[in-house]
Amino acid sequence: MEHDVTKTVRLYMAVFGGLLALTIVTVWAASWETATGLGVVLALLIASTKGTLVAGFFMHLFSDRFPLIARVLVFSAVFFVVMVVLVFLGFVDSFGANRAPIGG
Amino acid sequence: MGELQATHAAAHEAHGDHAESFIRKYVFSTDHKVIGVQYGVTALVFLAVGFFLVLLMRWQLAYPEQPMPLLGGLFGNRMTDAGVMTPEFYNQLGAMHGTIMVFLGVVPLAVGAFGNYLVPLQVGAPDMAFPKLNMASYWLYFLGGIIMLASFFLPEGSARSGWTSYPPLAVLEPGGQTWWLIGMVLLINSSLLGSVNIIVTIVQLRAPGLQFMRLPFLVWAQLVTSFLLLLAFPPLEVAGFMQLLDRVAGTSFFMPTGLVVDGQAVAFSGGGNALLWQHLFWFLAHPEVYVLILPAMGIVGEIVANNTRKPLWGYKTLIYSVLFLGGMSFIVWAHHMFLTGMGTAISTFFQLTTMIISVPSIIILTVLIISLWGASIRFSTPMLFALAFIPMFGIGGLTGLPLGLSVADIHLHDTYYVIGHFHFVVAPGTLMALFAGIYYWYPKVTGRRMNDTLGRWHFWPTLIGLNGVFLPMFLVGMAGVSRRLYDGGTTYAHAQDVLWLNEVSTVASWLLAAAQVVFVINFFLSLRNGKKVEDNPWQATTLEWATTSPPLGHGNFASPVTVHRGPYEYSVPEASNDFSPQHQEST
Amino acid sequence: MAEIEIPYNSTNHPDTGVYNAKLGIWLFLASEVLFFGALFSSYILLRVGAGGTAGDWPLGADLLNVPLATFNTVVLISSSMTMVMSWASLKSGNFDAFQRYFGATIGLALLFLLVKGLEYYAEIFHQRYPSTSTFLATYYTMTGIHALHIIFGVAVNAYHFVSAKRLYAEEPERFTNRIEVAGLYWHFVDLVWIFLFPVLYLL
């Protein structure tokens, strides 16, 4: 990518603009849609989009694809999801779980 | 590398001489071989300390309320009462025995020492990918270990809530628990640096021609182990931070609402969840079991191939099994928590995954056993230990199956049966393999062989002693006697029939201790008097034997090595020798 | 023989396509995913365990300063942008531009820490401590650990800023790689904040 510096710079600036815009959107969205299911989904969607922008462009995951690094990240992503989901399920599916499980 | 030197000069003070000082060469060294030996020696010292702690406990279990002979007066009034250890001291011994053995003894020996010393040599690299990080990793470990040990000398004593440190108890206990947590965070960071280093070394620094499917099995085992350390430890670090805050900042991450202790409500805001700790702890601690066992399997694989003079039967099967084992180990953790009120659906899931993960373990054992078939085995000292590993680990693994099924686990949970099970995995299992590794690579490190006669005097009493200690525990446990009882169960009616077995275990532990004295003598005597060896005394094929014994200074190989064949080409038909080293072009 | 040459220290490995430190930092970041993952996981469980009613788990906006945090988000995103620009400048051989952007990155990071400090000060002034409620405990812990990451990043960047001239003169290629690695870490810290901000302040 060093052969076309101006293009890269323009790309980074566009991503930066996008991130700023999404920051404003998320604050604005939260001001009328708080703490409901939709609000949570919306906020996390926006955050994920921003995260993808950072990881994809600033961290070059989109431009230089190395299967090795992608594989490592897939591993950790899978284990992260496993941790969240299984711990959560263990929490929900427990005797006396309606309020809080034993000890909680 | 002028630039690196410049960095050094900037990072360190202004000592400008380029000759390596003693400190740089042997204390703050960046050579993976020196660091490996540092790890090994430190870990062996910690193993000895952990073993000493348990010898004290075993006295109390076999002869409760009787003053400890010789040592009774040593610990002062705080820990003993007229020579009899106090319950508080017993709890400290138990918690610290587990912690020291797992986090300061076995893992640093298996990964820190064997991984550090052997991985760069076996992949034909001049050093680890990041030598300075490697040094930092060792010193973090050292510091963490010192903090753990130092906590014994606090006025309130060390951590005493078991090696698992379950809250709310661990949060409310006075004393060393805070130090335990700080030490733990240091150890986690140490293993993080170490595992990044090992993975990058294996991926990036393999010698030309050394494809992944030509790597020695030990390197594969270390690779998977490092991934487990890398991904499983961070949640415990988080949990450690949270428990630390619960203790020092009064937060309530693990403190439930309305907790009452001694008839008084505790001064916590509440709203936390004690089970969260258990989830985060076991998310690490179950993969940790495989961190303990995989390097051991790797060591046994190397030694079996070398001493049977045959290729390992099913090399690829071994590797796929290890990979599968590593991945699965992340989704079995809650089988440690069947008694926490988990629902049937989720506990069915964890029972299922637990049964599945036993399959690759059995495959690995089967591969190792079949590798023995039809061989003319060299019964060298390392091979004796490696052979003992196979059935011992088998017992440890198979006795784990009933614990993975919630119906049986409800009876056996937290009894001596569990203690017997996991000790069979780690002590007669992993430790036997680690001893095998020490005997096998001692000539590589020192250029001398350990004495074979003393080796046998070490092996047989160790094997008998370990079985004598841990086999009775299965019976005690099935009788329903709980672990962590200060008096070994004396006050319980259901324990009366099996109490005599406590004494059997204790006497066996003395035999075990005596056998280790032989090992220590052998270890030090052989440094001076051991038989000098040529570069490849075991006539082995892997790359660590392609250099001199002991290896040249920093840099390992005189000239870059190229690999021409797989790791275990023993007894190749038509070849001139019964072994064809990986770096040799023609057989 | 003080130091030895490690292969692929500054050049890309032909098979993997990366140099050692780049793989190393990505492995480290993979473990960081699990690290912050465990924090978020704990957050979810504690919040669900609190019963889910408004009384048990306060709305972040009621206790925390959303405008300041929004400002801080912008600051951190900007520093991420200047970080990637400083690397791009090095790539195109413009050392002066690199110094400007890199200095700005450090400056913005310090500004972030300053604002964060002000927020903590305001919370403590209103007698909202970590021990007050599980929400506040979570807030202090998550943002505190994130701030520790920022401080570590500032330290690493400051070292490179101070010794940039020398390192660049000696081995420009290697120094560019170092900045890329430092950048990857920095973007990750930014990325974590992108999730922390809505989770703690808005939901």
Domain enclosing residue C159, as ranges: 26-50+58-202
Mutate to test the interface with C, among B15, B199, B200 (most CBs of C within 10 A): B200
Residue C107 included in any domain: yes
Residue B569 included in any domain: no
Calpha distance B381→B385 (Å, rounded):
7
Q: What 3-state DSSP class applies to B154? A: coil
Residue B24 included in any domain: no
- Does A21 share its domain with A54? yes
Could C30 and A66 be called an inter-chain contact, meaning their C-beta atoms sit closer than 8 Å? no
Percent of residues, chain B, with pLDDT higher than 90: 82
Distance to chain C for A26, nearest Cα, Å: 8
Indicate which CATH number applies to the domain containing B519.
1.20.210.10
Calpha distance B127→B551 (Å, rounded):
12
Q: Into how many domains does chain B fold? A: 1
Distance to chain B for A59, nearest Cα, Å: 19
pLDDT tens digits, one per residue of B502-524: 999 999 999 999 999 999 999 99
Q: Into how many domains does chain C fold? A: 1
Distance to chain B for C168, nearest Cα, Å: 10
- Does A54 share its domain with A70? no
Q: CB neighbours of B132 closer than 8 A, spacing ≥ 6?
A: B30
- Does A24 share its domain with A37? yes
Distance to chain C for B237, nearest Cα, Å: 7
- Does A7 share its domain with A53? yes
Q: Which residue of chain B is at minimal alpha-carbon distance from A79?
A: B330
Comparing CA positions, the residue from A20, A49, A1 lying closest to residue C81 is A20
Cis peptide before B550 (omega within 30 of 0): yes
Which secondary-structure segment (H or E) carries C28?
helix C20-49
Mutate to test the interface with A, among B196, B212, B279 (most CBs of A within 10 A): B279
Question: Residue written as tokens 């686990």?
Answer: B409
Interface of B with A (CB under 8 A): 168, 203, 227, 231, 235, 256-257, 272-276, 279, 283, 330-331, 334, 337, 340-346, 349
Residues in chain A: 104
> Chain B contact for A76, CB < 8 A?
yes
- What residues of B are in contact with residue C167 (Cβ under 8 Å)? 3
Calpha distance B223→B213 (Å, rounded):
13
pLDDT tens digits, one per residue of B95-149: 999 999 999 999 999 999 999 999 999 999 999 999 999 999 999 999 999 999 9
Please check the confidence at residue B56 and state whether its pLDDT lies above 80: yes
Distance to chain A for B20, nearest Cα, Å: 37
**C73 burial via Cβ count (<10 Å: 0-12, 13-18, 19+):** buried
Residue B538 included in any domain: yes
Distance to chain A for B184, nearest Cα, Å: 21
Predicted pLDDT of residue B2: 39
- Does A71 share its domain with A56? no
Could A104 and B275 be called an inter-chain contact, meaning their C-beta atoms sit closer than 8 Å? yes
Residue B469 included in any domain: yes
The subunits that touch chain C, with at least 3 C-beta pairs less than 8 Å apart, are: A, B
Indicate which CATH number applies to the domain containing C75.
1.20.120.80
Could C13 and B2 be called an inter-chain contact, meaning their C-beta atoms sit closer than 8 Å? no
pLDDT tens digits, one per residue of C128-181: 999 888 899 999 999 999 999 999 999 999 999 999 999 999 999 999 999 999
Q: Is the ipTM of this complex over 0.90?
A: yes
Predicted pLDDT of residue C61: 83
pLDDT tens digits, one per residue of A45-99: 999 999 999 999 999 888 776 778 888 888 889 999 998 899 888 888 876 544 4
Q: How confident is the model at residue C104 (pLDDT cuts 50, 70, 90)?
A: very high
Could A82 and B274 be called an inter-chain contact, meaning their C-beta atoms sit closer than 8 Å? no
CA dihedral angle for residue B255, residue B165, residue B93, residue B35, rounded to 10 degrees: -140
> Chain A contact for C31, CB < 8 A?
yes
> Chain C contact for A12, CB < 8 A?
yes
Residue C64 included in any domain: yes
- Does A14 share its domain with A45? yes
Long-range contacts of the stretch C143-147 (C-beta < 8 A, 24+): C143/C116, C143/C196, C143/C200, C145/B241, C145/C39, C146/C189, C146/C192, C146/C193, C146/C196, C147/C113, C147/C116
- Does A58 share its domain with A75? no
Could C33 and A73 be called an inter-chain contact, meaning their C-beta atoms sit closer than 8 Å? yes
Domain enclosing residue B150, as ranges: 36-257+266-546
- Does A53 share its domain with A103? no
Could A58 and C187 be called an inter-chain contact, meaning their C-beta atoms sit closer than 8 Å? yes
- Does A3 share its domain with A54? yes
- Does A35 share its domain with A76? no
Query: Within 10 Å of residue B587's Cβ, how many Cβ atoms?
Result: 15
Domain enclosing residue A6, as ranges: 1-65
- What residues of C are in contact with residue A54 (Cβ under 8 Å)? 80, 187, 190-191, 194
Comparing CA positions, the residue from B386, B379, B301 lying closest to residue B570 is B301
Highest-scoring range by mean pLDDT, B56-70, B561-575, C105-119: C105-119
- What residues of A are in contact with residue C38 (Cβ under 8 Å)? 83
Question: Residue written as tokens 């061989």?
Answer: B375
Query: Within 10 Å of residue A99's Cβ, how many Cβ atoms?
Result: 8
- Does A55 share its domain with A98? no
Q: Into how many domains does chain A fold? A: 2
pLDDT tens digits, one per residue of B453-503: 999 999 999 999 999 999 999 999 999 999 999 998 999 999 999 999 999
Q: Is there a contact between B360 and B368 (Cβ–Cβ < 8 Å)?
A: no
Calpha distance C69→B291 (Å, rounded):
41
Residue B522 included in any domain: yes
Q: How confident is the model at residue C3 (pLDDT cuts 50, 70, 90)?
A: low
pLDDT tens digits, one per residue of C62-85: 889 999 999 999 999 999 999 999
C 55-84 residues inside an 8 A Cβ radius of A: 59, 61, 66, 70, 73-74, 77-78, 80-81, 83-84
Residue C98 included in any domain: yes
pLDDT tens digits, one per residue of C109-139: 999 999 999 999 999 999 899 988 889 999 9
- Does A77 share its domain with A48? no
Residue B290 included in any domain: yes
Question: Least CB-CB distance to B231: which of C19, C30, C42?
Answer: C30
